[in-house]
Structure 1
């Protein structure tokens, strides 16, 4: 297949081909990679499908580089690495993260990815067992687990470059090929050779910039929060017997309280048919619903009439929130509970590099291994390992005071 970023990508074997062809994986064509970010960056309509294929391509590069440097990787391990990275996001729901916070209870996409992988393992006669062990971080060769989930994994190496490409935000355009070329393994741990230190610095800085400029962009954040609230409201109305249009697939998640404890094989099968289109279709209907909250929230998203959002360095004062809530209640003659769907606050946090675990280690020619924060002469790298938290308040534009 032809990728706009990497060019032609070859599928390494028939098992990978069959997994890509499977309906569970094809669903990812209907899940946007960046949720509501297309409302800010019109080009950001790329999908989880494209990202997963890109990750597999980078993993092929990584395997070739490591083998060239004398790291032994068997054919079974190679295939397992491709499968694990290909399927690492298969459990994402509509618009990526919104569903995790609204119509299922504390079920993460990683949990659902694992359930999909186990179901596929049954279908493919146990051929995914090694991939599942690597995905879970249980395999004894730790560097393989780090390639799937670490601070310099193939997931990040693709999404930073891909999201930068589709949003047009050049600051995120990392040199993933250079980073992969500098990979090596020492004592079962992934390291970056000394020559690659500047590429790592660029990678960490790019990650920070992409979070503030793209992933935590205030307009995208406001849109995602509206989406979470519109789904909550629809489910709340459904639960008290109101007539709320839902697609057949979405209705299952409205009629059942889904948590990790009762996420059955039937639930998984229904979930495999759920995608962005279910939510968009429902919201187009909800624009005409009798309930003020559901109607207005849906209309705001569909027509991109997004709320005003202010971001501050300190927590939002209760008085400010109260003023906006009471003004909105009076304006539309609605209850406090209804007004709180439109006026709300929260916080966002950005930590470009985590010092605690899964570190990025630099390998010097002398054989010495040093964490990037100590190896780098870039003043900001250590600073970037500290989390930065900001606080926001959202309220409809008509309340702009």
Structure 2
């Protein structure tokens, strides 16, 4: 190891609107924050296109990553340290995994991933294990340390406590983004008693559990999460912006495959278009780069790419109606698509169904998509009980998946041409059922 006692000569702090201060006393953490890969997170928004709906939502993955680190640090230093089931040697592994858990996110995160079929957790592991500044810093601490941190991210580590701290149904990741996103969107839905939740957490039988006396604080946390998803994360205006963003990327990829000659060549996207993304090129992508292309593509000859980019840059978003299977059955859908084409509007890019769903709490089912460890209560007699077995509030929403489907379309294109008034009326009638 290259670090003497591993501590900085003087503790560093980041002023933070959610946690007041983020405290850094370990040289390893300070060096990781200073890497190019971690600093890149300043240029990636935490909430993607949500700023179109809630103008304050401009905070970054950098902010959030520091917040997750701070919550894990407080779990360890303020609650777990000195308890018989806590292993002191696990401290740096948990702190590094918390700090780096989102380092593989691309610009506009989930929209970007869907178009190019990427996985940010895979890129997080590649950054930790690859030829990067992050890897060099971790190897200076311990040659095998990158493998250990990557295993926590991949959820394959033998250290289940570390996994539970950053990837369970009450982990530091969720706790920070609920509080942080509520703060920056200006709503109160995501607020819960973090202090109380941290105080009742315990390392127990190779996992993190909650003392039974803290059950009501956890109920509040789960209901806060439920409200944030439906009031903030799934807001239809945000989804409209995501639809346009997604269609821009699809259109650019299609044009590239058709050998279209761009006025402004998308050199940063070539590897994505060819589905041969290497780590070096991936790390060059951030939202500043994306905005550059959206800006210049407004001058392209292709009318669809030009229009979609103008919409995104100027917030001229699609309107929406609820998508109901009974109203928008196959025959109806074919008719709507046909009328769009008749009106000179390509339904591939301007008629979009978006479906979103959330499962606020569920039992852990091994191998299922998005499976996460359940919340276990530590009873006074030492037994463990799964949360929904004790809480009537949580039981009421356990396993209940709620889905919302919207049909997005450019209302202005249906109203701006008087010559297409009859077609417009037919389309709007069909859209509204």
Q: Normalising to structure 1: TM-score of the pair?
A: 0.91
Instruction: Identify the range of structure 1 (158-167 vs 358-367) with the bigger mean alpha-carbon deviation.
Output: 358-367
| 1:205 alignment counterpart | 223
Tell me the SS of whatever aligns to 1:10: strand
Instruction: Identify the range of structure 1 (14-23 vs 389-398) with the bigger mean alpha-carbon deviation.
Output: 389-398
**Aligned 8 A contact 1:93 1:99 in 2:** yes
| CA shift digits 1:340-365 (9 cap, x unpaired) | 21102132111111213411011111
Instruction: Identify the range of structure 1 (147-156 vs 169-178) with the bigger mean alpha-carbon deviation.
Output: 169-178
**Aligned 8 A contact 2:358 2:403 in 1:** yes
Candidates 84, 88, 109, aligned match of 2:120: 109
Instruction: Point out which structure has higher relative CO (alpha carbons under 8 A, 6+ apart).
Output: 1
Quote the Cα distance in structure 2 between the aligned partners of 1:178 and 1:313. Answer: 42
| 2:316 alignment counterpart | 305
**Aligned 8 A contact 2:127 2:135 in 1:** no
Candidates 151, 162, 173, aligned match of 1:155: 173
| 2:409 alignment counterpart | 395
| 1:351 alignment counterpart | 359
Instruction: Identify the range of structure 1 (149-158 vs 234-243) with the bigger mean alpha-carbon deviation.
Output: 234-243
| 2:16 alignment counterpart | 3
Q: 1:344 to 1:51 in 2, by over 3 A?
A: same
Q: Which has the larger radius of gyration?
A: 2
Quote the Cα distance in structure 2 between the aligned partners of 1:140 and 1:286. Answer: 48
Quote the Cα distance in structure 2 between the aligned partners of 1:326 and 1:305. Answer: 24
Shift of 1:247: 5.2
Indicate whether 1:366 and 2:381 are aligned.
yes
Aligned pairs, how many? 385
Shift of 1:299: 1.3
| 1:278 alignment counterpart | 289
| 1:219 alignment counterpart | 237
Provide the alpha-carbon RMSD of the alignment: 1.9
Q: 1:247 to 1:24 in 2, by over 3 A?
A: farther
Shift of 1:68: 4.3
Shift of 1:85: 1.1
Q: 1:355 to 1:322 in 2, by over 3 A?
A: same
**Aligned 8 A contact 1:204 1:381 in 2:** no
In the TM superposition, what are the counterparts of 1:1-400 in structure 2 within 5 Å? Answer: 1-64=14-77, 65-75=79-89, 77-102=90-115, 104=116, 106-119=117-130, 120=132, 122-124=135-137, 125=139, 126=143, 127-244=145-262, 245-246=264-265, 248-254=267-273, 256-258=274-276, 263=277, 267-312=278-323, 314=325, 316-332=328-344, 334=345, 338-357=346-365, 358-378=373-393, 381-398=395-412, 399=414, 400=428
Instruction: Identify the range of structure 1 (353-362 vs 123-132) with the bigger mean alpha-carbon deviation.
Output: 123-132
Quote the Cα distance in structure 1 between the aligned partners of 2:186 and 2:82. Answer: 34
**Aligned 8 A contact 2:178 2:225 in 1:** yes
Stretches of structure 2 lacking an aligned partner (at least 5 in a row): 1-13, 366-372, 415-427
Tell me the SS of whatever aligns to 1:97: helix
Stretches of structure 1 lacking an aligned partner (at least 5 in a row): none
